[in-house]
Amino acid sequence: MSCCITRRKLLSLAGTTLGAGVFLPNLWIRAQSPGPNSAGAVVGEPTAAKVGGEILARGGNAVDAAVAAALAAGVAAPHQCGPGGYGGHMTIAMAGKKVTSIDFNSRAPAAMREDTGLVNGRLNPHGWLAAGVPGTMAGLQLALDRFGTLDFRAIAGPAIRIADEGIRVSNRNWKAFMEELGVVSASSAGELFRNPELAEMLRTLADRNSVDSFYRGDIAGQIAAAFQKHDGLVTKRDLAQYRAREVAPLVLKWRGHEIFTAPLTAGGLTVLEALSVLKALKWQERRAGAGRTHAYLETLRLAWNDRLNLLGDPEHAEVPAERLLSQAYARELADRVNRAVEQGKPVSATGTARGDDGTVHLSAGDRHGNLAALTLTHGNAFGARVIIDGLGLVLGHGMSRFHAGTGHPNSPGPGKRPLHNMCPTIVKRDGQPLLALGGAGGRRIPNALIAVLSRFVGLGATARQAVAAPRMHSEGNMDVRVDAQWPVGEVDSLRAPGYRVSRASVAKASAVFFDADTKACLPLSR
C-alpha cells in the first residue's frame, strides 16, 4: 500500500543520523546532454532543468528559466539547496549588454563572533549556530526583477506544484537512504516525498508576487522566532537588513575570449588566478604528456594555497585580490611552476581537504543569446540539518564555511560573508556570449571549471570536448584526485615527486553553449 513520507518526519530523522554522503534519492541521476535546442536550454538538476525548459517554451528568457529551475530544485532536491539555503551566486549575460553578477551569499548575524559555533576548535556544521541569514530567495528575486520578463507569481508555480504533489523517489537510492536511517524496510521504496508547508509558504509569496515578507514581514517573523527558540543567532533585524546585490564580475582575457566569473566571496578568483598562471606559462603550447600535466597540477596547488590562506570577505578583511590576478604575479607563479617541473619536485604549498555535496548548478540559454549561470547551495547534504516548522524550510550551514580560528581573512564575524566555492561563469568571444558554465561538488567546483575552461579557451577544444575532458583535483596538499579518464601514464608520473594520487569522483560541470549562427543552445553535463 502506498503512503506519503512527510517532510517533517524525514528531516527529524535526518537531523540525527544522516551522513554527509547520503542523499534524498529522488533525482540523483546523471543529467543528459541532448542535441541543440532552438528554443533554448536549461541543464543541471533534472527536475529543475525540465521546469526551466517549460518556462522557455512559454516565452520566458534565460533568467526566468534559471530562477524557476532554482525554485524547483529547492523542492525536488532538498538535500542540495532550497529557499532556506545559505545562498549562492549568478552570472548573467544579456545579449548586447555587459555581463553582470548577482551575489546572494549568506551573511553572518550581528551577534556572530570569531569563536561562535566552535566545538573542540572546529566549526560545527550542524545545528542552529551553523545557519546564517538565508540568501537564496533574495538573490532569485533580484535576478528576476532586473533581468527577467516574468513575475515571481508565474515563476513559482512549478515549484509549488512539485511540493504539493510530491516527488517519487528512485527505488535503489531510496532503499539505501532509508536503510542508513534504519527506520523502515526496503519495501517502502517508491514512496512520494511531499512538503506541504513549503508549498504553502511559496504559495503565499506567489500571491504577494514578492519574497519581501521572507525578510521583512510575517514569514521573517516565523524564521526569527525559530532561531530564538533554538538558541540560534539570526534575528528579525538581521533578516530585514539582508540584501542580495548586483556586482561586477571578475574577467580574464585569453586567446580571443573573455571569461567572466563570480567575484569574492565566490570561488571565481581562484579559477581566474589558475588560468592566469596557465596563460603566463603558455601552457597551451606545451606538448601533451607528463610535463604539461605536472605544470597543471602545480598551478592548481599554488592557486589553492592562496585561496585557503589569503581569501575572505573583502569588506571585512585585507584581501590582495588585485595582486593575485595581476600579470606580474601570474609570471611569478609561472616561474615557480617551471622550476618545479624542471626539477621534478612539488612547489611549496599547503592545503586541507574538505568534502561538500549539497550544491546545485543550473546553466540556461535562450534563442536570443541570453545566458545565465546559477549556483546555489545548502553546503553539505541538508546543510545545518535543522528545519523551520510551519514553513518547511531546511536551513543551509553557511557559517560553517568560515575559518575556525582568529585573525584569518575568512574568520567569522558580524555581517561577514563566508568564502564559498561556487563560481558560475560566462564566456564571450568577439563580444558574443557563448558559454554559461558552473559546477556542483563543493571544493571540487573551482578545479572543475579550471579544467573545462583551460581546454575550451586555452586548447581550443569544442564545448562538448571541454566538458567531457578528464579532470584533476587538488587543494594544495600532496593528495591528488583524478577521474577515471585521466591517462594512466600521466597518473603514474605524478607519483614520482611524492604525490598521493587516487582515482576519485570530481565535481559535476553543467554548461549551455550558444551557437550564434544557428541561434540554438546545446546543453552539456558531466
Active-site residue flag, 518: no
Nearest by Cα to 67 from 480, 362, 460: 362
pLDDT score of 184:
32
Please tell me whether residue 144 adopts helix, strand or coil conformation: helix
Contacts of 29 (CB under 8 A, 6+ apart): 46, 170
pLDDT value for 409? 97
Domains of the chain from N-terminus onward: 43-93+105-247+357-425 (no CATH), 258-354+447-506 (1.10.246.130)
* Residues 388, 394, 395: CA angle, nearest 5 degrees: 90
d(CA 76, CA 421): 22
Parallel, antiparallel, or unpaired: how do β-strands 387-388 and 245-247 relate? unpaired
pLDDT value for 357: 67
The sign of the dihedral angle between the CA atoms of 133, 397, 407, 275 is negative
Cell 533581468 belongs to residue: 147
For residue 260, the 8-state DSSP code is E
Position 512, amino acid:
V
The answer to whether the CB of 90 falls within 8 A of the CB of 363 is no
- DSSP result, 362-430: EEEEETTS-EEEEEEEEESTTTTS-EETTTTEEPP-GGGGS-SSSSSTT---TTPPPP-----EEEEET
Q: Cell 588560468 identifies what position?
A: 275
Whether 336 and 327 have beta carbons less than 8 Å apart is answered as no
Q: What's the N-to-C CA distance of the chain in angstroms?
A: 37
Spatial separation of the C-alpha atoms in residues 47 and 45, rounded to whole Å: 6
Which own/partner pairs from 335-341 qualify as long-range (CB within 8 Å, at least 24 positions apart)? 336/298, 336/302, 337/277, 337/281, 337/295, 337/298, 337/299, 337/302, 338/281, 338/295, 340/294, 340/298, 341/291, 341/294, 341/295, 341/298
Tens digit of each residue's pLDDT, the chain (526 residues): 333 334 443 333 333 222 222 222 222 223 344 556 667 999 999 999 999 999 999 999 999 999 999 999 999 988 899 999 999 999 999 999 999 999 999 999 999 999 898 887 889 999 999 999 999 999 999 999 999 999 999 999 999 999 999 887 654 544 454 344 333 333 345 567 788 999 999 999 999 999 999 999 999 999 999 999 999 999 999 999 999 999 999 999 999 999 999 999 999 999 999 999 999 999 999 999 999 999 999 999 999 999 999 999 999 999 999 999 999 999 999 999 999 999 999 999 887 766 666 799 999 999 999 999 999 999 988 899 898 989 999 999 999 999 998 999 999 999 999 999 999 999 999 999 999 999 999 999 999 999 999 999 999 999 999 999 999 999 999 999 999 999 999 999 999 999 999 999 888 999 999 999 999 999 999 9
**pTM of the complete model:** 0.91
Which residue matches cell numbers 577521474?
483
Neighbour-count burial for 351-378, b at 16+ CB within 10 Å, e otherwise? beeeebbbbbbbbbbbbebbbbbbbbbb
CA dist 2 and 168 (Å) reads 11
The angle at the Cα of 317, spanning 312 to 323, to the nearest 5 degrees, equals: 75
Catalytic residue among 100, 136, 270, 359: 359
